[in-house]
Amino acid sequence: MNTWTIVGGLVVALLIVVPAVKVVWQYEKGVVFRFGKLVGERGPGLNFIIPYIDRMIKMDMRVETLVVEPQEVITRDNVTVEVDAVVYCRVVNASDATITVKNYIKATGQFALTTLRSVLGQSDLDELLAHRDRVNDRLSKIIDEHTEPWGVEVSIVEVKDVLLPSSMQRAMARQAEAEREKRAKIIHADGERLAAKSLAEAGDTLAASPASLQLRYLQSLVEMASEQNATILPIPMDIVREVTSTAVKAIATNGHA
């Protein structure tokens, strides 16, 4: 056996063995075609195929992140907003993702874009701002139902940011300010009502006890004297009551006359 024979045998062996050996990584699956026809999937590890007859296409099974570029959307209440979103998806069926759709990443991204416009066009601005989780759930459900035949699972869809026109921002600021003023007036009125009720109860209590009224009168004199900026002339409460009673009777008499 000469050298050329050995070399020729090695070359033939390499041409047969090397194409037959395929290594599939842990996060991949290999889809095998034989004469262009699907024959099955191969798992991670060392795999052998029939060289020049079989062909293996490796499919990444990890989660893909698709960024939906900012889009101008008109909400149901006719407000123009600019929104962007992110879609998390992964392949769950390598065979379907290979033979059903040419580029599942691009297809999922384009469908997410159109679905984003459609769903947000059916939502109010308040729902988009205050209940974004509902919008995200609706987007995720619609996109996942459409991509399921492709062997692609959409797990999460998140609306990242909502940009409002400056005029709408000013209007919302005025609305928030008016709401705060309304709450402040309500709280102030409620405080006045409670204060009036407490004063009425205190007046009834003092009127029922002349001694308590006298003590309250003396306490007021002490508080006024502490300021040292006025001359105080104490008058007994009995005289005050008599003068008040006389004045009331005189007014009543003049009224009848």
Dump the DSSP string for the chain: --HHHHHHHHHHHHHHHHHHEEEE-TTEEEEEEETTEEEEEE-SEEEE--TTTEEEEEEE-SPEEEEEEEEEEE-TTS-EEEEEEEEEEEES-HHHHHHT-S-HHHHHHHHHHHHHHHHHHTS-HHHHHH-HHHHHHHHHHHHHHHHGGGTEEEEEEEEEEEEPPHHHHHHHHHHHHHHHHHHHHHHHHHHHHHHHHHHHHHHHHHHH-HHHHHHHHHHHHHHHHTT-SS------HHHHHHHHHHHHHHHHHHHH-
106 and 144 co-located in one domain: yes
Query: What is the C-alpha to C-alpha distance for residues 144 and 163, in angstroms, rounded to an integer?
Result: 26
121 and 103 co-located in one domain: yes
Residue 104 domain boundaries: 64-164
Q: At 135, phi and psi to the nearest 5?
A: -65, -40
Comparing 19-28, 44-53, 135-144, 170-179, which segment has the lowest mean pLDDT?
Answer: 170-179
Establish if 6 belongs to a structural domain: no
pLDDT at residue 78 tops 60: yes
Average pLDDT over every residue of 113-122: 87
What pLDDT is recorded for position 177?
A: 76
148 and 70 co-located in one domain: yes
Establish if 108 belongs to a structural domain: yes
Among 164, 190, 218, identify where a domain stops: 164
117 and 189 co-located in one domain: no
What pLDDT is recorded for position 224?
A: 64
The pair of three-digit structure tokens given for residue 42, joined into one six-digit string: 């191969």
Among 118, 136, 164, identify where a domain stops: 164
Across 55-59, 161-165, 196-200, 238-242, the highest mean pLDDT is recorded for: 55-59
Q: At 15, phi and psi to the nearest 5?
A: -65, -25
What pLDDT is recorded for position 60?
A: 92
Instruction: Compute CA 146 distance to the chain's CA centroid, rounded to the nearest angstrom.
Output: 25
Among 116, 134, 164, identify where a domain stops: 164
CATH number for 132: 3.30.479.30
Asked whether the CA dihedral 123, 129, 131, 133 is positive or negative, the reply is positive
pLDDT at residue 84 tops 90: no
When pLDDT is cut at 50, 70 and 90, the band that residue 76 belongs to is: confident
Instruction: Compute CA 41 distance to the chain's CA centroid, rounded to the nearest angstrom.
Output: 41
Tally of domains within the chain: 3
Establish if 5 belongs to a structural domain: no
Q: At 186, phi and psi to the nearest 5?
A: -65, -45
18 and 53 co-located in one domain: yes
The pair of three-digit structure tokens given for residue 24, joined into one six-digit string: 């599939």
Establish if 244 belongs to a structural domain: yes
Q: Give 23 or 229, the one with higher predicted confidence.
A: 23
Establish if 4 belongs to a structural domain: no
Establish if 257 belongs to a structural domain: no
Establish if 89 belongs to a structural domain: yes
How confident is the prediction for the chain on average, in pLDDT?
80
55 and 97 co-located in one domain: no
235 and 193 co-located in one domain: yes
190 and 243 co-located in one domain: yes
State pLDDT tens for residues 188-226.
888 888 887 877 777 677 666 666 666 666 676 666 666
176 and 233 co-located in one domain: yes
85 and 155 co-located in one domain: yes
When pLDDT is cut at 50, 70 and 90, the band that residue 33 belongs to is: very high
What pLDDT is recorded for position 199?
A: 73
Dump the DSSP string for 113-157: HHHHHHHHHTS-HHHHHH-HHHHHHHHHHHHHHHHGGGTEEEEEE
Establish if 38 belongs to a structural domain: yes
**Dihedral angle, C-alpha 211, 212, 214, 219, nearest 10 °:** 150
208 and 188 co-located in one domain: yes
Single pTM value for the model: 0.62
107 and 144 co-located in one domain: yes
